[in-house]
A = this chain, B = another copy of it.
Amino acid sequence: MDVTFLTVLRSLIVGAGPSGLMAAYWMARCGVKARVIDKRSTKVFVGHADGLRPRTLELFDSMGFQHRVMQEGSISTEANFWVPGEGGKLARKGPFNISRPDESPYHNTRLNQGRIERFILDSIKEHSDLEVERGIIAESLEYDENLENDPNSYPITVKLRSQGEEALNPLYNHSQSASGATRKESERHYLLPDDWNDQAQRGNFESKVEIVRAKYLIGCDGAHSWTRKQLDIPVEGSNTDHIWGVIDVIPISDFPDIRRVSIVSNAAGTILIIPRERGLVRFYVPVHVCEAGSTTRFDRSTITPEVIRTRVQAILSPFTFDFQACSWWTVYQVGQRIASKFTKGDRIFLAGDAVHTHSPKMGLGMNMSMQDGFNLGWKVALAVAGTVQPSILMTYDLERHPLAEMLVDFDRHWSPMFIDQKSPEEKDTKAAAMFDIAGKFEDFADGWKVFYPGSCLVCKPGSEAVARYIVPGERLKPVKLRNQAEGGTKWTTTLLESDGRFRILVLAGDVRNPMQRGRLETLCQVLTGQFAPKPSPLDRYVSIAGRHDSPLDVVTVHSVPWKEAEFFDFPEILHPLDAVRGWAYDKIWCDDSCIFDRYCDGTAYEKWGVDWVLGALVVVRPDQYIGWVGELGDVDEMTEYLDAILVKK
């Protein structure tokens, strides 16, 4: 007989894929006791998603593991388009740049989802005792709407069942080793030692039933989301008529661009070639078109790696193509769907594939899902911690829903381009059309523009006169700065660590100028609380218990040449003294070039559109998006912005 336990919990995350792990990261960083369950018995190891957009990589940097992604991942900065040329033989159009060199420290990178999960899991472990509980399914969900508005209540009741390993769902739906060997044997070759050990050390699963009562629930349980179904949240959209095969192989091919992002299109069809880490290349291959109006479900078992191989051979001909090593493959039908809402009462939230699905060919899926989890995680974690007001939770749907709509809409235009059977002349026009569409979408796809609308978290309009390119609702454009005390350099993406704190950026300007010096000193007097009865904004809000004394962190960036400024020139509130850690040497930064670092080029103020003398005052949210912008003197306005978000002491 099953034993039943009762647990009361602050937050529960269902699903430990990329979006669930991003949310879990925030629980770990903010010291929130949470639980993360997943029905599968292990993490992903090979295959699945692989595309990483620059914005996602910037987030990884703020989380502390982007150096691992750079070490292992494969970067492509150009793409090529191949269509029949003279004599009908495939000819290259390109290369086209697919990345903008100065927009981000990072470039489009491919690395399989399993490694990304590894890095987030390692980071969670570094900051907390939180562990993913695997082999657990949620069986029932009750939600008591009457309790919704009582912040101390636990309106969610979930019944969880731990399964014996035998009963677990297989990890890879619709996928298997191409050779037919057992998974363990066939995969070892593709796994790095830390993943291999993880896989080898799977524990025993005992059957157990548990009733969990939770304040918040985050459902990241994929396209067939159990959580979404319990909530009866409708999904709009449909499957397209096209069945695709995906295969990760080490190709043996004389096609010249086999290690470059390429689209190859001729009378035989269109394939997408994506080079990956460790010699792997991924191929997206159209394998079947369902008849319009047909009600028979396509039998996916007719598609094998052999079928995909033959299709690729036909499309790449006269170039050769073959493989012996295949790490993963699958067959899918593109579903373009979006959930009508992403939340139930701002107590239960859905993220990632649970609320939007689309074709994987823009390499955006994992990025959108992780950015959902990242956007949501800190809000729930800080709400649970009592640091922010639960009212900010309404911004999750507000910010992420329109982006998901934009994504699915784009996909409806982009995806069919791979399918059309056109003449060679039309192919040429099509090539241009595809890049045109992709180009327009780039700002969004790479994450440069996010367009978060105005809300309590995004104070719009900002102050264009003060900081032209620091726009509330967008990310802070990354720049490399020089540390005043040490002389070393850092990207702002590293500096603005994702530790749960809001950051007040004091862009101090030219503090050699006496007028400006006076402005800075006035600001610091306010920040120190010297204008009683006005309390210091730094001392005004509830802390992140066990982690940070204040939910606000102050970082100063001045514009004086590095050698002409001194750390102790700056008022102490900007680099406060700690009895054990000493003065905060990591808080004063300089926008100056450094001959030892070609990326530290003294262009921060310019890139941000900020006056070199006058500077600016900026609040950056915990997720590195701009919340508020003003002048150095606008502390009252800033405090007003913060008052609507943070819980006062």
Contacts and interface: CB of A to CB of B under 8 A. Distances in A.
B193 A126 contact: yes
Given A99-B596, A567-B256, A595-B101, A488 B75 contact: yes
A74 B487 contact: no
Interface of A: 67-68, 70-71, 74-78, 95, 97, 99, 101, 107, 125-126, 193, 250-254, 256, 258-260, 275, 279, 323-325, 483, 485-488, 563, 566-568, 577, 579-583, 585, 594-596, 598-599
Contacts of A125: 193
B596 A77 contact: yes
Contacts of A252: 577, 579, 582-583
Nearest to A494: B71
A461 B3 CA distance: 81
B67 A579 contact: no
Interface residue SS majority, chain A: mixed
B250 A486 contact: no
B486 A581 contact: no
A324 B580 CA distance: 6
Contact of A486 (B74, B486, B568, B598): B74
A251 B250 CA distance: 53
A324 B126 CA distance: 25
A585 B259 contact: yes
Contact of A70 (B67, B256, B323, B485): B67
Contacts of A258: 485, 582, 585
Contacts of A594: 77
Contacts of A259: 483, 485-486, 567, 585
A95 B76 CA distance: 40
A107 B486 CA distance: 14
Contacts of A67: 67-68, 70-71
A253 B582 CA distance: 7
A78 B582 CA distance: 22
A598 B480 CA distance: 14
23 contacts: A67-B68, A75-B488, A76-B486, A76-B487, A76-B488, A77-B488, A101-B596, A250-B580, A251-B582, A252-B579, A252-B582, A252-B583, A253-B582, A254-B568, A256-B567, A256-B568, A259-B483, A259-B485, A259-B486, A260-B487, A275-B486, A279-B582, A323-B582
Contacts of A583: 252, 254
A485 B260 contact: yes
A228 B107 CA distance: 52
A116 to B, nearest CB: 16
B71 A488 contact: no
A596 B107 contact: yes
A260 B566 CA distance: 12
Contacts of A599: 598
Contacts of A567: 256, 259
